Amino acid sequence: MKILFSIVCLFAFTGLSSQVVTLDYFFNREFRKSRTGQAERFHYTWEDTAQTGYSIWGYLFRKAGADIKSMDAAPTKTNLKGTDVYIVVDPDTEKETGQPNYIQKKQIKVISEWVKAGGVLVLLANDSANTELKHFNQLAKKFGIHFNNDLRNKVSGDDFNMAALLISTGNPIFTTAKKIYIKDICTLKLTRKAKPVFTDKNEVIMAIADYGKGKVFAVGDPWFYNEYCNGRLPAGYDNDKAAQDLATWLLKQVPATEVK
């Protein structure tokens, strides 16, 4: 299957932007062998144009007027400077990376202080068998969010209806998407610091939290990688619209007085 957008599309929108979206490459750091036998980075990266990458979502952020970049190092006050939206996705387990970079207390302090100053943080987990939840939850806890050790929306083969969810009119984030596909996820448990933004069958699927001048969005899945940005979804699913809706909403949450 051909990916809808090539790497050319990723960099199609040039020019100045007041907002920067940074994707973490430190806590999620996976490699595979290229055709030449060399190790190459892949999985939830802007540059990965295969089904496993975020090149389409990156394109949509740029379409919405933002610049995108990645961060290979652990977050610090210095290297978060200039970032408006920071995305942390699917932290590694030892199964995925020989020496995973677990989220530590000093990094939690840096990230939470950055959010308090006006940063917009995106936490994208996965089901418990495919992501490192122990340390990730220590970060999420700062904002009243807990990723549960469960598995929901499991799909048999290509029975897409098993992971179909309907978005009600009036959702504050997803204003154009009506039917989404999100499989093999973990649910959320919230304290009073956070509030649900999408629930299904009395379970919290997505949540947001205000923290100081900043905002946090969380969902228990990487969700918007190319495969499920309508790369192989049948007609009637709006994951592409949902990806654009979320990108637009995140950029709107950046305070007028920027974190930069």
Averaged pLDDT for residues 200-206: 97
DSSP one-letter code for 64:
T
Q: How many whole angstroms separate alpha carbon 46 and alpha carbon 10?
A: 8
Q: Is the pTM of this model over 0.85?
A: yes
Q: Average the pLDDT over each of 106-110, 187-191, 227-231 and give the range with the smallest value.
A: 227-231
Average of per-residue pLDDT across 5-15: 40
162 closest CA partner among 237, 251, 218, 98: 237
Residue 52 has pLDDT above 80, yes or no: yes
Which residue ranges form the domains of the chain, and what is each CATH number?
A: 7-143+211-235+242-252 (3.40.50)
Q: What average pLDDT does this structure show over 71-85?
A: 97
Q: What is the 3-state secondary structure (H, E, C) of 85-117?
A: EEEEECCCCCCCCCCCCCCCHHHHHHHHHHHHC
pLDDT in tens, 232-244: 899 999 999 999 9
Q: By percentage, how much of the chain surpasses pLDDT 70?
A: 89
Q: Average pLDDT in the 52-69 region?
A: 96
Provide the total of helices (H) and of strands (E) in the chain, helices listed first: 6, 13
User: Looking at residue 4, what is its pLDDT?
Assistant: 41
Where does the pLDDT of residue 98 fall: very low under 50, low under 70, confident under 90, or very high at 90 and above?
confident
